[in-house]
Amino acid sequence: MLEYRPLMTSPQPSADNIPALRGIARRNALAAEAMRRLDPLYGPVVWKPRFNALEELIFTVLTQHTSDSNAEVAYDALKKQFPSWIDVLEAGPEEIAAAIKHGGLANQKAPRIREILRIILERTGHFELEFLATMPLEEARSWLISLPGVGKKTVGVVLNFALGMPAMPVDTHIYRVARRTGLIGLKTNVDDAHDIMEAQIDPDDVFQYHVLLITHGRQLCKAQRPLCGECPMADICAAMPVFAKAFEAPKYKRPVRAGQTL
């Protein structure tokens, strides 16, 4: 059993920070309630690695600023063009960029991927990252985040998806859902959201929490027109009154046809 150090420690109560502690407790309770309500809709959630850790890292770099489907095409093309990671490392950035062009920003991602592979080989002598699972969570996180172009979301995906470690990835869908529902504050930035949301639930539930929220963001709590009428969290959602009022605007009203009743 791996020992993980807690990411955030609770401050000791004092007259000055009691409101903040109440806010943390409220959001932690909201996180538990969100999981309880969303699991019947999107679950059951079962952890299963889709790639090994290095494959997950390269794939996640390819997903930056594009869709997963575009990244999948780019990743498959990369592996077809370069059967091994040493082949990628020995290739020129232009060759790599040509292979991954479908994923967008190829001229930026190509040298980044090549440099990541170079550093990993230089540090470890091989192209495997499974050793990270033997580290405390914060050490593994620091090791990965020191790589070029690797941020908290990418680190969270690699550690959680490939290695089963309790790191919380926060993508654009989760960030949107979290701000709307009140799981984080409206002014909380994305980097801070990773830390706050990771601390909201039990480490064993981090993967489930991520999957439930990202699925909810894709299917119901959409960016342009959230389907609030179908949302199991509507009655506890901080943004619901705002959307309910906004959707009363004429532009959201469907025209009534002759003979149609409402």
Map out the domains of the chain as residue ranges. Answer: 53-162
205 among known catalytic residues: no
pLDDT number for residue 17: 65
Catalytic residue among 16, 68, 87, 171: 171
Q: Taking Cα atoms as reference points, which of 43, 48, 254, 54 lies closest to residue 164? A: 48
pLDDT over threshold 80, residue 193: yes
Residue 153 bears catalytic tag:
yes
Measured between alpha carbons, how far is residue 138 from residues 57, 79, 133, 162 in Å? 17, 31, 11, 16
Catalytic pick from 39, 109, 152, 153? 153
Stated length of the chain: 262
pLDDT at 1: 36
Q: Which own/partner pairs from 235-240 qualify as long-range (CB within 8 Å, at least 24 positions apart)?
A: 236/30, 236/33, 236/181, 237/180, 237/181, 237/182, 238/180, 238/181, 238/182, 239/179, 239/180, 239/181
* pLDDT value, residue 14: 57
Question: Residue 257 gets which letter from DSSP?
Answer: P
High-pLDDT (> 90) share of the chain, %: 82
- 53-162 homologous superfamily: Hypothetical protein; domain 2 (1.10.340.30)
Where is pLDDT greater, at 43 or 251? 43
Distance of alpha carbon 242 from alpha carbon 234, whole angstroms: 11
| pLDDT for residue 243 | 87
Residue 229 to residue 240: CA distance in whole angstroms: 10
**Looking at 61-70, 102-111, 217-226, 253-262, which range is the least confident one?**
253-262
User: What CA–CA distance (Å, rounded) separates 71 from 60?
Assistant: 8
> Residue 250 has what pLDDT?
57
- The predicted-structure confidence for 203-247, as pLDDT tens digits, reads as follows 999 999 999 999 999 999 999 999 999 999 999 999 999 888 877
pLDDT in tens, 40-96: 999 999 999 999 999 999 999 999 999 999 999 999 999 999 999 999 999 999 999
User: Greater confidence, 2 or 88?
Assistant: 88
In the predicted structure, residue 261 carries a pLDDT above the cut 50: no
Given a cut of 90, is residue 21 above it in pLDDT? no
Euclidean distance between CA atoms 59 and 51, whole angstroms: 9
pLDDT at 262: 36
**Residues 4, 71: Cα–Cα separation, whole Å:** 31
Task: Round the average pLDDT of the chain to a whole number and report it.
Answer: 90
pLDDT band at 11 (very low <50, low <70, confident <90, very high): low
How many CA within 13 A on the CB side of residue 121? 13
Res. 178: pLDDT tops 60: yes
Q: Number of C-alpha atoms within 13 angstroms, CB side, residue 127? A: 18
Q: CB of 74 within 8 A of CB of 101?
A: yes
